[in-house]
Amino acid sequence: MKEQERRAETENDQAMKLSPDEDLMLEVRNGAGETLGVLFDRYHAPLYNFYSKLTGDRTLSDDLVQEVFLRILKYRQSYQPGTPFRAWIYQIARNARVDHYRKTPRHITFEPHMVAPVMPKDSAQQLEETELLHRALMQMPEEKREILVLSRFQELRYEEIARLLGCELGTVKTRIHRAVQELRQNFKQLERGLAPREAAPAVVKTIPPRRFGNDM
């Protein structure tokens, strides 16, 4: 390859890395499948977090992320110029999850090792709090948890969430408020039940059974 061409290619790569999602998606739509790699790099970790916080299942989360990108290829012709890409991809992500549950009966999983990896700066108390919080979150019905995950972890703006869920902005706010209230109740209950943890049957009952490594 000539030096000039190589330089042009590098510049092109760099330009691609700075391009807005929407421009990249239009390229994918027009047949440049390899451009999808840049979008994969931008979105696969956030999507993975969306799924893992929602389902508590790592293997499933990995699979669903792949499914999303497969669907983007499949549906690329339906991407309309001017559509915010973030909204579009989360729409696909939600549909992929719904379809998965349609095919496979829902069972909630709770993987103990998913809870807060130990970080040196964590104090013992903070670790405990994080674990309680995670449990409190996982106790919520998935539909309610979703709105918290979208707003708090995916950092979607309320307007984006409203469009995604197909409801009014005010409804989104009300639902967030209710979800936070419920989370707080769950958290307090767990905190109270902490002394002998088994002493809180209502809580223990809602913690899904542990699942052992079944990947291989």
| Footprint on residues 95-134 left by other proteins (CB under 8 A) | 114, 116-117, 119, 126, 129-130, 133-134
| Footprint on residues 144-183 left by other proteins (CB under 8 A) | 148, 151-153, 157-158, 172-174, 176-177, 180-181, 183
User: What single DSSP character describes residue 152?
Assistant: I
71 binds other proteins (CB under 8 A): yes
199 binds other proteins (CB under 8 A): no
For 203, how many CA atoms within 13 A lie in the half-sphere containing its CB? 19
216 binds other proteins (CB under 8 A): yes
> What does the alpha-carbon distance between residue 152 and residue 115 come to, in Å, rounded to a whole number?
17
SS3 9: helix
Question: CA angle 134-137-141, nearest 5°?
Answer: 145
Residue 125 and residue 21 in contact, taking contact as beta carbons nearer than 8 Å: no
Q: How many residues in total does the chain contain?
A: 216
Residues that bind other proteins (CB under 8 A): 31, 33-34, 36-37, 40, 44-45, 48-49, 52-53, 58-59, 61-63, 65-67, 69-71, 73-74, 77, 114, 116-117, 119, 126, 129-130, 133-134, 137, 148, 151-153, 157-158, 172-174, 176-177, 180-181, 183-184, 187-188, 215-216
